[in-house]
Amino acid sequence: MSATENKPLAGRRILLGVTGGIAAYKTAGLVRLFKKAGADVRVVMTPDASRFVTPLTLGTLSENEVHVEIFPENEAGSWTKHVALGLWADLFLVAPLTAQTLSKLVDGACDSMLTAVALTARCPIMVCPAMDHDMYIHPAIRSNLDTLSSRGVEVMEAEHGELASGLIGQGRLPEPESIFEHASELLSRIAGSSSGPLAGKRVVVTAGPTRERIDPVRFISNHSTGTMGFELARAAARRGADVVLIAGPVSLSTPEGVRRVDVESTADMHAAVNGQADADIIIMSAAVADFTPARPSESKIKKDASSPDMTLKPTADILADLGSRKRDGQLLVGFALETDNGLENARGKLQRKNLDWIVLNNPKKAGAGFGTGTNRVTLLAADDQRVDLPVLPKSEVADAIIELAVLGTDPDAIDPLS
């Protein structure tokens, strides 16, 4: 069985919104199903929901902090989390949805973290209304559900059965397994439909190291694992872009919905990039080798070779080449790996290579560099903007780069989530 069969929702981000109905207890099982399927789950609850199931329960099961208050005490600067959560999610699933929160969603109310997130979410929203039968069939509720449907919200109708009141009728929250299946089906529909702020845009991302051949068994390379580039490809695809990922030798699986071209040397990567040079957005995150053996050997160099020929010659600078023929409207993003004089060197590369943005990182800094799950970068723009990001998981750094550099999102709106 492959990893994706085992974890059908690997890399998917589910934001679960829980409102205050008796069926809220079922969300513990739902969180477990999503986690078992490999999804990353975050939870927002209305204050009333926390009377039915505790934030501690859902926080423990989701392995993430649960958000309840829109203005949490003692958390200065966290008020933009409703925006960050809305940008983060692939799906905002509200289950159970009470009559009260339903009417707030229809009205655009913004009195809790959950209702605020519903207004900022760029991802699809799915709701699972659950209430007593007579409420469920009331014309006010039916009309509110129709309104949500007409705005593109996926409404999973309640089931018929025994209700908390003791009555029998329609209004029961479906079992976690049914909600899980419905949400999974919706996620695969979304993946096929290419909607999102980058729909229709062609994005090329390069990732990983290159290998320069010394002889048939030896090469020059570097420590790049490709993680940053793969996360960038994933982040762009998730926003609806048509993504080509040109990858050096790495052992990572291809993000969903991304076309991958594997290459080995700088020359191979250059040729592959040239084939896509008219893309709308090109992000060169690959750690391209600057030198290659001038005369690679056709046969294995034996150890008794008195002095192996290790003469090196410079490789072509792929990004400088792209910059020299950048077309109108094309966006070029480069990376700068600097251990000393970072800002100055990065600004130099930004100008010399005719880039729109450059992402500066220093592998010597804590939380940054090769082989770590996190990175700490500074983004510099040709128009002198500068954004310093804190140490973040590479997936969140990728989201921030796409939001800031590609979509032009205000830096204040992409505060880290935790």
Residue 197 or 342 with smaller CB distance to ligand CTP? 342
Question: What is the SS3 assignment for 231?
Answer: helix
CA distance 342 to 335: 11
292 touches ligand CTP by CB under 6 A: no
- Residue 3 DSSP symbol: H
Residue 6 or 341 with smaller CB distance to ligand CTP? 341
Which residues in 334-357 are b (16+ Cβ under 10 Å) and which e? bbbbbeeebeebbbebbeebbbbb
CA distance 127 to 18: 10
354 is catalytic: no
Q: Of residues 64, 222, 345, 354, which has the active-site annotation?
A: 222
| 13, 42, 238, 349: which one binds ligand CTP (CB under 6 A) | 349
Residue 227 or 266 with smaller CB distance to ligand CTP? 266
The nearest distance, CB 188 to ligand CTP, in angstroms, is 33
CA distance 103 to 32: 29
- The phi, psi pair for 124, rounded to 5°, reads -65, 150
Question: Look-up: residue for tokens 């059908």?
Answer: 8
CA neighbours within 13 Å on the CB side: how many for 152? 10
The nearest distance, CB 284 to ligand CTP, in angstroms, is 4
| 23, 99, 153, 288: which one binds ligand CTP (CB under 6 A) | 288
The residues facing 213 across adjacent strands are: 219
| 125, 335, 380, 392: which one binds ligand CTP (CB under 6 A) | 335
Residue 144 or 315 with smaller CB distance to ligand CTP? 315
336 touches ligand CTP by CB under 6 A: yes
332 touches ligand CTP by CB under 6 A: no
Question: Look-up: residue for tokens 């990732």?
Answer: 207
375 touches ligand CTP by CB under 6 A: no
The nearest distance, CB 330 to ligand CTP, in angstroms, is 15
Q: Which stretch binds ligand CTP (CB under 6 A): 26-34, 227-235, 332-340, 410-418?
A: 332-340
| 121, 318, 400, 401: which one binds ligand CTP (CB under 6 A) | 318
CA 196 to chain centre: 13
319 touches ligand CTP by CB under 6 A: yes
| 98, 225, 315, 375: which one binds ligand CTP (CB under 6 A) | 315
Name the token pair of 9.
């929702």
Residue at 100: amino acid letter: Q
CA 201 to chain centre: 17
* Residues acting as catalytic residues: 222
List interacting residues with ligand CTP (CB under 6 A): 266, 284, 286, 288, 290, 315, 317-319, 334-337, 349
